């Protein structure tokens, strides 16, 4: 969750892990004893996992922030939970990680816009399950890690460590042709953005252009969305579409037109997130008061209007 506030010292706290009795009471009591006021809380259980996202006021915290975080993690660990605290600072540029496979068009578009300061963020790492885009990362002077995905559990364990080591704020799935496990997705919920080559909820899963071609649709599109534990069912951030000629167009024509749109729509979603213009709240994308004007402006920019 990310949103504007007039408070001097605000932080986001995330608690996640297997659900059982007493977790919410223990955490909220811990915060109370440390003089923290809970400004907002979002909690739910998904597939036996409890997820708590809170916004807290740190103004009256008596401990050092480092000591408080240590105590928070210890308290959470005593219940088999993981805890994370991130200070809200809208002026700070966010660290961005790219998960890629072989196609470069989406990652390259965002990296180029970051280089030109059109998208304001810091690309801190590119992680590929194939080595193909190492040269792209080198071009933009971003560290590249090749993490094979033959074993998904080992792959995700390594990727999570890299993300943690680089203090990543946003994970961009730039045509990353792997399905993230629920365990991975819930750890970065609200901080993973994917581009899917269809107008979701239509045609989820692989080979979406082929699905659209075989169904004979007249409108094809792409969707940028937050990643959740359900495949291609995460809350939608933005979409674009194009009409096709069913009597003339081939599936290859769908793919060629779609790739340009994928890069444009994913870039727009990333820009809006990094500009603190949206956040994920109870499974829905929430835009702040300035969102509509910025959304129209960025859409016009990326469509070349």
> Is the separation of the CB atoms in 234 and 227 below 8 Å?
yes
Nearest to 38 by CA among 50, 51, 52: 52
Cα 207 to Cα 215: distance, rounded to the nearest angstrom: 12
> Is the separation of the CB atoms in 209 and 197 below 8 Å?
yes
56 Cβ neighbours under 8 A, 6+ residues apart: 10, 11, 12, 13, 31, 36, 37, 38, 39
Q: 250-258 long-range contacts, Cβ below 8 Å, gap at least 24?
A: 250/213, 251/209, 251/210, 251/213, 254/209, 254/212, 254/213, 254/220, 255/197, 255/209, 257/220, 258/197, 258/209, 258/220, 258/221, 258/222
The reply to whether 232 belongs to the active site is yes
Peptide bond into 122 cis (omega under 30): no
Helix, strand, coil shares, percent, the chain, to 5: 35, 25, 40
> Is the separation of the CB atoms in 159 and 97 below 8 Å?
no
Nearest to 127 by CA among 115, 141, 137: 137
Nearest to 268 by CA among 108, 118, 124, 127: 118
The catalytically annotated residue of 57, 109, 169, 232 is 232
Q: Which residues belong to the active site? A: 232
């Amino acid at each position: 969750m990310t949103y504007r506030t007039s408070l001097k010292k605000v932080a986001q706290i995330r608690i996640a892990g297997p659900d059982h009795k007493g977790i919410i009471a223990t955490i909220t009591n811990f915060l109370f004893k440390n003089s923290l006021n809970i400004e907002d809380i979002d909690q739910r259980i998904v597939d036996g996992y409890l997820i708590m996202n809170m916004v807290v006021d740190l103004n009256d915290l008596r401990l050092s922030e480092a000591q408080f975080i240590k105590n928070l993690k210890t308290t959470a660990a005593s219940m088999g939970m993981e805890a994370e605290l991130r200070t809200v600072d809208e002026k700070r540029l966010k660290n961005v990680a790219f998960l890629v496979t072989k196609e470069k068009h989406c990652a390259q578009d965002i990296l180029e816009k970051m280089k030109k300061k059109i998208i304001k963020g810091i690309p801190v790492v590119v992680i590929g399950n194939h080595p193909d885009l190492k040269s792209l990362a080198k071009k933009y002077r971003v560290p590249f890690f090749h993490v094979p995905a033959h074993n998904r559990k080992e792959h995700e364990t390594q990727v999570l460590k890299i993300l943690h080591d680089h203090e990543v704020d946003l994970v961009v799935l730039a045509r990353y042709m792997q399905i993230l496990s629920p365990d991975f997705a819930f750890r970065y919920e609200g901080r993973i953005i994917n581009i899917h080559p269809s107008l979701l909820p239509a045609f989820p899963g692989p080979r979406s252009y082929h699905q659209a071609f075989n169904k004979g649709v007249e409108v094809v599109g792409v969707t940028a969305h937050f990643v959740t534990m359900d495949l291609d069912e995460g809350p939608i951030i933005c979409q674009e579409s194009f009409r096709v000629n069913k009597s003339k167009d081939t599936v290859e024509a769908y793919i060629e037109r779609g790739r340009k749109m994928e890069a444009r729509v994913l870039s727009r979603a990333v820009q809006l997130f990094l500009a603190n213009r949206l956040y994920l709240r109870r499974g829905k994308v929430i835009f702040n008061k300035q969102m509509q004007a910025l959304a129209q402006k960025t859409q016009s920019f990326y469509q070349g209007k």
